[in-house]
Amino acid sequence: MPFMRKLIAGAIVLAALGAIVGWVLSAPRPLEEAEIGAVSDGAETRGERVFWAGGCASCHAAPKAEGEARLKMVGGLELETPFGTFVAPNISSHETDGIGAWSLGEFANAMQRGVSPDGAHYYPAFPYTSYARMEPADIADLYAFMKTLPPVEGKAPPHQVSFPFNIRRGLGLWKLLYTRDAPVVEVGPETSDAVVLGRYLVEGPGHCGECHTPRDMFGGTQYNAWLSGASAATGEGTIPNITPGGDVGGWSEDEIAEYLNSGFTPDFDSAGGEMASVIKNLANLEPGDRGAIAAYLKQLPSLPDGHP
């Protein structure tokens, strides 16, 4: 009996230590002050470019919004996933229902660390795993632009997430496994400026990998199959392979760039589904940005389809 009591006591101690370690490792990790950019002259203009590159309107404008309504960040879009239904929040400049009262530091921590102003983890339906690769100056510019957008009343409904996914603290461990701020694709010193810019736009603000890369059973990005296509995270169907080994492998850089502007493929088909909204965002960028995205995609390794 004494041995059994010691065994039980040892198990309790180990369990307690494990709980403490897990609690520590899962804690939100905000940015250091030096990692936060600063708002400077011309930030609003530069921030508009980041806004469209980041696709903010696709999730945070009202569903099916068109024209100027795409600048009203009321939220409400529902993303149905195997982990639950996530609802895009109001990120308008409204002081209470949106993010109008947020500081630049709070905004940067949400964007790059997935941490809310009250210190909670955001779900990765918000693509902070990609935004983590963004430059602090671009985050500051976007913050300045967001302040110019109209305030919109109304909070979005809460997420519909069941146990165990409703325990947000566990996301801290998920972040340790799947968040990386380094570029996914390595490039050499001889790489053209266009490819370097395209890599930044695709891997960072454009967050293309969030949809076009397969995920494992825990919802983490499989970086060894980067942009090779995936089962749709929301709804049914598949997201195409956009490496040279996929359906767009035969497209030229100019044809890819034109698709990102007009939504028309070389065969005169048109973008549909969620990609149609992405095109509306990218069409607001300068031609050089879309050309850079095309240049980056063309130099990727050719991979087989990552979706079934």
Coil vs helix vs strand at 231: strand
Residue 22: the pLDDT is 58
Single out the residue of 69, 67, 65, 68 nearest to residue 77, CA to CA.
Answer: 65
Over residues 124-141, the pLDDT tens digits come to 999 999 999 999 999 999
Predicted TM-score of the model (pTM): 0.90
Residue 83: the pLDDT is 87
Over residues 144-165, the pLDDT tens digits come to 999 999 999 999 989 998 888 8
The b-or-e profile of 110-146 (16+ CB within 10 A means b, else e) is bbbbbbeeeeebbbbbbbbbbbbbbebebbbbbbbbb
CA–CA separation, 28 and 109 (whole Å): 10
Residue 64: the pLDDT is 83
Residue 216: the pLDDT is 92
- The pairing of strands 78-81 and 84-87 is antiparallel
What is the residue whose two structure tokens read 């936060």? 36
Residue percentage of the chain with pLDDT more than 90? 67
CATH code of the domain occupying 193-298: 1.10.760
Amino acid type, 32: E
CA–CA separation, 147 and 157 (whole Å): 23
Over residues 15-50, the pLDDT tens digits come to 555 555 655 666 778 888 889 988 999 999 999 999
CA–CA separation, 97 and 89 (whole Å): 9
Evaluate if residue 236 carries a pLDDT over 80.
no
On the 0-12 / 13-18 / 19+ scale of CB atoms within 10 A, 74 is: buried
Over residues 269-308, the pLDDT tens digits come to 888 888 999 999 999 999 999 999 999 999 999 999 887 7
What mean pLDDT, rounded, does the chain reach? Answer: 90
Q: Where are the domains of the chain?
A: 34-178, 193-298
Residue 24: the pLDDT is 61
Evaluate if residue 8 carries a pLDDT over 80.
no
Residue 71 sits at φ, ψ, to 5 deg, of -100, 0
